[in-house]
Amino acid sequence: MPSPKYVPKQFLIDPADFGRKGETQWVTPDETWSRESRGRLRAAQLQHRVAHSVRVKFLRNPKAPIRKMSQLAEALEIRYGKLQPMLAGDTVMQLEDLGRLLDHFGHWLEPALLSADAAKVADVIKLARTQAAERRQPTQATPARPPLR
């Protein structure tokens, strides 16, 4: 495979934040940027959101069945040497890679595909639905006492 034309994490003010921090600062494009450069910035932002979701929701989650990058690579049938740099923003994520991640994680990864603002709205909606479902579930009430006579 040819080497990528760009390194996604280079669009961040602090490249070490790629895939690691939810709130990040991106390089701001100006009028001199080509459509290609703007597209690469958007692609890097999408890749960052996916990488961050994978790290936070799965690899750092004590309840997740897969908590090691090597285990994830095996489950996805991707070499560790490809997965790790991709999640770190050193290499470009291909659509096939994204497809494997979506196939493995399912709907839990879908909010990462939204823009940052839309993802926040989706998280709020998901939380509200979860809370509403919890309120609808009957609680174990203490049995009623028979009336005193």
Task: Report all structural domains of the chain as residue ranges with CATH numbers, in order of start.
Answer: 8-109 (1.10.260)
Cα–Cα distance measured from residue 117 to residue 48, given in angstroms and rounded to the nearest whole number: 14
- Local structure of 28: helix, strand or coil: coil
DSSP code at position 93: P
pLDDT at 131: 82
Q: What is the pLDDT of residues 35-60, one digit of tens each?
A: 999 999 999 999 999 999 998 877 77
Host H or E run for residue 105: helix 95-105
Token readout for 34 is 């080509």
Query: Mean pLDDT for the chain?
Result: 85
pLDDT at 149: 61
Cα–Cα distance measured from residue 61 to residue 38, given in angstroms and rounded to the nearest whole number: 33
Cα–Cα distance measured from residue 34 to residue 29, given in angstroms and rounded to the nearest whole number: 9
